[in-house]
Amino acid sequence: MTAARLRGSILPPWLSDSDELHLSKPTAFPGARRKGIHGHRVIVKPGEVEFVEGMWLSTWERTWLDLARQLPLNDLVAMGDQIIRVPRPELEGRERAYSTVEDLRGLVGRHPNLQGVVRARQALDLMRVGSDSAPETFLRLSILDAGLPEPELQVGLRPADPRPPSADLGFRQRKVAVQYDGGHHLFEPQRLSDHRRDKAFEAAGWAVIIVDKTDMEDGFTAAIKKIKKALRASVSDSTVAAGFAEEA
């Protein structure tokens, strides 16, 4: 847990706000016995710890696996999505993801008896590259739980364009775009950019649905209703268009 906080991992508030210090040691060594420290004895295989800024930390992958015994499934998926997302080099100073689903699956396979491994396998099946934040992951999972088709992530308006306006989630065939606007979207420069983005989608015949923190606090109930309505409308529009084509 301490490694996750130091790395800036996506965690629920009850973990990210904790000031507890957790120290893990291989099973061959005695556990930590110091005041204020939660000691753990773990089976560690080569490549699962690394030296970062003067201290040994579990890798991103191993940290994720260790937290599988504590995190609810959706939070574990969100943390996993953070690990496998492709970064924006100009903003983040790195070009590669922290890991891949394949590498995480290999790690899980090397620890078949670790507590939480079943939940880790479930999370791997739900993780997707392209989620830029925990709310986007939670929204995608809510869409799936509602029985709707799985949305694409980071949907470019014009696939052939290298830098087109994009939607956080979307249904390309139905022309439905879903944007999750977090707190930074309230600032004026970002609001203007968002406005141009949404107008571009609407001009191309897409329905644009804006989701925010209020929707997340509601469990995305209202947002899911809007998405369902937009998807139904797109089917109706397609049926009408097909009818006109047949009459012509």
Residue 50: per-residue pLDDT: 92
- For residues 196-202, average pLDDT: 95
Of the two residues 18 and 122, the one the predictor is more confident about is 122
User: Are residue 174 and residue 110 in the same domain, yes or no?
Assistant: no
Structural domain including 64 reads: 1-129
Both 147 and 117 in one domain: the answer is no
pLDDT at 56: 86
Q: Which of 112, 129, 146 is the last residue of a domain?
A: 129
**Pair 106, 153 in one domain:** no
What tens digit of pLDDT does each residue of 17-60 get? 777 766 665 665 555 556 656 665 677 899 999 999 898 899 99
- Residue-level pLDDT at 159: 80
The total number of structural domains that make up the chain: 2
- Chain mean pLDDT for the chain: 87
Domain finish residue from 92, 110, 129: 129
Average pLDDT, stretch 141-151? Answer: 97
Q: What is the pLDDT of residue 182?
A: 78
Please tell me whether residues 124 and 1 are part of one structural domain: yes
Whether residue 236 sits in one domain with residue 199: yes
At residue 247, does pLDDT exceed 50?
no
The pLDDT of residue 135 is above 60: yes
Distances (CA, A) of 46 to 43, 95, 97: 10, 25, 20
| In a shared domain, residues 120 and 31 | yes
Q: Give the CB-side neighbour count of residue 214, counting CA atoms within 13 A.
A: 3
The verdict on 12 and 33 lying in the same domain is yes
pLDDT of the residue at 241: 46
pLDDT of residue 1: 64
DSSP for 156-218 reads ESSTTSSS--EEEEEETTTTEEEEE--GGGGSHHHHHHHHHHHHHHHHTT-EEEEE-HHHHHT
State the pLDDT at residue 244.
Answer: 33
Query: What pLDDT shows up at residue 163?
Result: 82
Statement to judge: residues 12 and 42 lie in one domain: yes
Confidence class for position 242, pLDDT limits 50, 70, 90: very low
Per-residue pLDDT, averaged over 99-110, amounts to: 97
Together in a domain, 95 and 177: no
CATH of the domain at 233: 3.40.960.10
56 and 116, same domain (yes or no): yes
- Whether 125 and 143 map to the same domain: the answer is no
46 and 163 housed in the same domain: no
For residues 202-220, average pLDDT? 96
Return the percentage of the chain with pLDDT > 90, whole number.
Answer: 64
Distances from the Cα of 75 to the Cαs of 7, 21, 64, 119, 135, in angstroms? 16, 21, 11, 11, 10
Last residue of a domain, one of 109, 129, 149: 129
